[in-house]
Amino acid sequence: MLKRIAVLASGRGSNLQAIIDAIESGTMQNVAVALVVSDRKNAYALERARQKNILTAYFNSRLFISREEYDRELVAYLEEQQIDLVVLAGFMRLLTPYFVLAFQGRILNIHPSLLPAFPGMNGVADALAWGVKVTGCTVHFVDEGLDTGPIILQEALPVARDDTVETLHQRIHALEHRLYPLAISLWAEGRLKIEGRRCLIDEE
Ligand code: GRF
């Protein structure tokens, strides 16, 4: 059965585009992007969605008295839209426990480092500043912590001597665009099983 996903994004939405492209090319078959939500009115991710006639919603944090109120409203909307899976793609808000509980095991995030190294907002810059020789990206389930949920997929790449945050992030993005559709497909096919901290992938 087709799974309805909502993509939550605050920025340019290149991961959203990769997901849309994977669906259009038939690489990802059992998923539809039903909705794109942003906390930024001018996020380019919203524009990408509009170009594909995907439903969009802007959730303005200034209209809510607390983070939990924001999440309550957002969860209610996602449930109303019968969303099966929430896909965070550069969404710059930490979800409250209320949200995480409402969509337990049904929220994914992508992060531009090899977690648990360099969580948080500046994963690429922090890894570069630390001087690591290898970094990469991680797709994981979302729990109450900051980038702490069970890891689904990871891929590594070498840091080049002359890398800047921009050049490194560009190469990480290329990995992300491959890995995220793959992880979403695995979830949609029911092939991911969480056991404690570990996420086991069923072989076909
Ligand atoms: C990605 O690097 C992702 O890992 C991080 O935010 C960035 C979003 O990029 N969480 P985009 O908006 O999908 O281009």
Catalytic status, residue 140 = no
In the three-class reduction of DSSP (H, G, I as helix; E, B as strand; rest coil), residue 135 is classed as strand
Query: Best substitution site from 126, 171, 176, 180 to test ligand 1's pocket, by max atoms within 8 Å of Cβ?
Result: 176
Q: 107 CB contacts (<8 Å, ≥6 apart)?
A: 85, 86, 87, 88, 95, 99, 100, 141, 142
| CATH architecture of the domain formed by 3-201 | 3-Layer(aba) Sandwich (3.40)
Q: Quick check: CB of 89 below 6 Å from ligand 1?
A: yes
15 CB near ligand 1 (under 6 Å): yes
Which two structure tokens, joined as six digits, stand for 178? 């491959």
Instruction: Kindly give the distance from the C-alpha atom of residue 90 to the centroid of ligand 1, in angstroms, as a whole number.
Output: 4
Q: Average the pLDDT over 93-106 and give the result.
A: 97
Q: What pLDDT score was predicted for residue 131? A: 98
> Can you give the pLDDT at residue 201?
97
| Mean pLDDT computed over 30-46 | 98
Q: Nearest Cα to 174, choosing from 198, 192, 155, 195?
A: 155
Q: How confident is the model at residue 167 (pLDDT cuts 50, 70, 90)?
A: very high
Closest CA to 33 of 173, 180, 169: 180
Give phi and psi for 161, each to the nearest 5: -55, -40
Of the candidates 48, 42, 60, the residue with the CA atom closest to the CA atom of residue 24: 48
pLDDT, average across residues 136-153: 97
Arithmetic mean of pLDDT over the chain: 97
Decide: 147 in ligand 1 pocket, CB within 6 A. no
Strands 192-195 and 107-111, how do they pair? unpaired
Residue 150 CA to ligand 1 centre (angstroms): 19
Sheet containing 192-195: order of strands: 55-58, 31-38, 3-8, 85-88, 107-111, 134-141, 151-158, 198-201, 192-195
The rounded Å distance from CA 147 to ligand 1 centre is: 13
Whether the predicted pLDDT of 94 surpasses 90: yes
Whether residue 204 is predicted with pLDDT greater than 80 in this model: the reply is no
pTM of the model: 0.97
Centroid of ligand 1 to alpha carbon of 11 (angstroms): 8
Asked whether the predicted pLDDT for residue 13 surpasses 90, the reply is yes
